[in-house]
């Protein structure tokens, strides 16, 4: 069980001032769950907008094992977790290791524009992971967003001569990028290419997991929207290179991605305002 209410500490740095004030004034709520210690935890929690950013948010996470009853409970800070939405599960199989990854997407619809929400993602047998979300305003309004590419992960392994490195081109700066996004407090962030260099890694599943774990501290509080923009994807490797971001995203990114930007590529479209 999880006791929710009376504090903002559980929501992390991404909670806005309006959410902070509302959470402090809300009463406690008892969240009961099944006790199954063998279930995997909620990993890589992140948000994206639906087709209409003022009323739709998608909550996503991944697991390497099958889980039962993946779902999201959500509501406003004042009213608590009053609604529950079942998550749809999609899978992809890594072409290098043969490992199957399951990605769970819960689509929250009918939300109010320009409004803060709290939510918890959970499946049977594990503890909920909490986050916040804010819908876009409807109509003309000021907009702040951030965008970057070429991030990698902050995962480093000790090597000889007191040097550090990793097979996925890791760097401490990868963690600094996530911090910079949070310091800017954008409505959403756009990621656009060469995200974690998993194609160069000895373990692509681990590398993608490291990337999501590093960025979840931001992406669970504001949508991170993917755009396809990479110099390392070819016709031959596109299906396996793009599978993680295609499946962990609800956006319609094509299965085959030519390396040439002039070949009719397309990106997800989201309405704002």
Chain segment 6-59, per-residue pLDDT in tens: 333 334 344 444 443 433 334 445 555 544 567 899 999 999 999 899 999 999
Examine residue 75 and state whether it is found in any structural domain, yes or no: yes
Helix/strand/coil for 122: strand
Phi-psi label, residue 162: left if phi above 0, alpha if psi -120 to 50, beta otherwise: left
Domain range for 67 is: 43-226
Q: What's the whole-number mean pLDDT along residues 51-79? A: 94
Q: Give residue for tokens 């709520």.
A: 29
Q: Kindly indicate the confidence band of residue 149, based on its pLDDT and cuts at 50, 70 and 90.
A: confident
Examine residue 49 and state whether it is found in any structural domain, yes or no: yes
Examine residue 8 and state whether it is found in any structural domain, yes or no: no
Q: What's the whole-number mean pLDDT along residues 194-223? A: 86
Examine residue 253 and state whether it is found in any structural domain, yes or no: no
Examine residue 269 and state whether it is found in any structural domain, yes or no: no
Q: Give the total number of structural domains in the chain.
A: 1
pLDDT(223) > 90: yes
pLDDT(156) > 80: no
The answer to whether the CB of 157 falls within 8 A of the CB of 164 is yes
Examine residue 11 and state whether it is found in any structural domain, yes or no: no
Rounded to the nearest 10 degrees, the angle between the axes of helix 238-248 and helix 204-219 is: 30
CATH number at residue 134: 2.60.40.380
Assign 3-class secondary structure to 179-199: HHHHHHCCCEEEECCCCCCHH
């Amino acid at each position: 069980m999880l006791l929710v209410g009376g504090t903002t500490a559980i929501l992390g740095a991404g909670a806005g001032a309006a959410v902070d004030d509302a959470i402090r004034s809300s009463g406690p709520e008892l969240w009961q769950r099944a006790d199954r210690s063998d279930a995997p935890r909620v990993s890589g929690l992140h948000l994206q907008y639906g087709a209409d950013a003022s009323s739709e948010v998608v909550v996503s996470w991944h697991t390497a094992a099958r889980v039962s009853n993946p779902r999201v409970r959500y509501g406003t800070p004042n009213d608590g977790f009053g609604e529950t939405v079942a998550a749809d599960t999609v899978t992809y199989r890594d072409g290098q290791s043969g490992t199957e990854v399951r990605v769970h997407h819960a689509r929250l619809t009918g939300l109010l524009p320009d409004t803060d929400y709290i939510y918890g993602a959970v499946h049977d047998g594990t503890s909920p992971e909490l986050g916040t979300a804010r819908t876009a305003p409807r109509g003309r309004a000021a907009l702040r967003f951030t965008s970057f590419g070429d991030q990698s992960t902050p995962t480093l392994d000790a090597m000889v001569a007191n040097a550090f490195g990793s097979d996925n081109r890791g760097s401490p700066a990868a963690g600094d990028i996530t911090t910079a996004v949070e310091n800017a407090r954008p409505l959403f962030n756009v990621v656009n290419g060469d995200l974690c260099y998993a194609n160069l890694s000895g373990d692509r599943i681990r590398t993608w997991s490291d990337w999501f774990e590093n960025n979840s501290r931001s992406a669970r509080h504001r949508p991170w929207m993917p755009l396809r923009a990479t110099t390392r994807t070819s016709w031959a490797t596109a299906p396996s290179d793009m599978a993680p971001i295609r499946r962990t995203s609800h956006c319609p990114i094509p299965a085959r991605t030519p390396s040439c930007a002039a070949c009719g590529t397309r990106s997800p479209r989201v309405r704002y305002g």
